[in-house]
Amino acid sequence: MLLAIDVGNTNITLGVFDGEELLGNFRVTTKINRTSDEFGVVFKDILRANDLDFAKVEDVIIASVVPAVMHSLTSSIIKYFNITPVIVEAGIKTGIRIATENPKQIGADRIVDAAGAFELYGGPVIVIDYGTATTYDLVDGTGAFMAGVTAPGIRISAKALWQDAAKLPEIEIKKPEKILAKETISSMQAGLVYGQIGQTEYIVKHMIEESGFENVKVVATGGLGNLISSETACIDIYNPNLTLYGMKFIYDKQKK
């Protein structure tokens, strides 16, 4: 089995593959101060609780946007799984050519998403990841990463509202019944959700216009991606496991 570990700013997502099949995916909170022992015990307990034999894990791949956790995390895999993990970093084979001005500035998460989308759906493709930040990345028909847009994620925007405006409460992020809100909570929900939908449609439209590409697929992923993708026709596909599949494809390229 292959254990894929995606380290995001908010959560660490684990994916377990048996051949081509994704057996399950699990999330834990990203905590910078975890020790290697804590990581090792948490990962083994999660696998055991889901009837997955950690002794059958033959390899591990890690993609991270949080450098501070990498020493403990990598050490935990070596110590508890007796495996030296594959790290998604500069120089690794991904199937994606970075055609931006400074390739080293492109985060591992965006490369992995691009690899997953291109492998599954071909190009040109726009990949939208609704994570801590909302990212929009353009991959052309040859697999070249051409450009990207970065915006505050929905949760970041929500936190800014209730932390910086004294009278606004912390709320659940969901789509209200209608945009014409008549009280505070639904008005905040309307602004957050419909605002994100509008942002998505505007950015996607102009990325396609400026690129000049035709028949561009738009693929979304990320925790709140389903909420947005179900409300706009500009998103063709929502794949919640796109990042994990991208890591699997990159792992396969290393072994070849």
| Four-point Cα dihedral 102, 107, 108, 110, nearest 10 | -100
252 is catalytic: no
Sequence-ordered list of residues with C-beta below 8 angstroms from that of 92, at least 6 positions apart, any chain: 86, 250, 254
- Count of other CB atoms within 10 angstroms of residue 218: 23
What does the buried/exposed string (b/e) look like for 55-91 if buried means 16 or more CB atoms within 10 Å of the residue's CB? eebebbbbbbbeeebeebbbebbeebbeeebbbbeee
Catalytic residue of the set 109, 113, 129, 140: 109
For residue 242, give the amino acid letter. L
> Sheet of 133-139: strands edge to edge?
97-98, 144-152, 133-139, 125-130, 217-221, 237-238
3-state secondary structure of 151: strand
Q: Which residues pair with 139 in a beta bridge?
A: 125, 145
Catalytic residues: 109
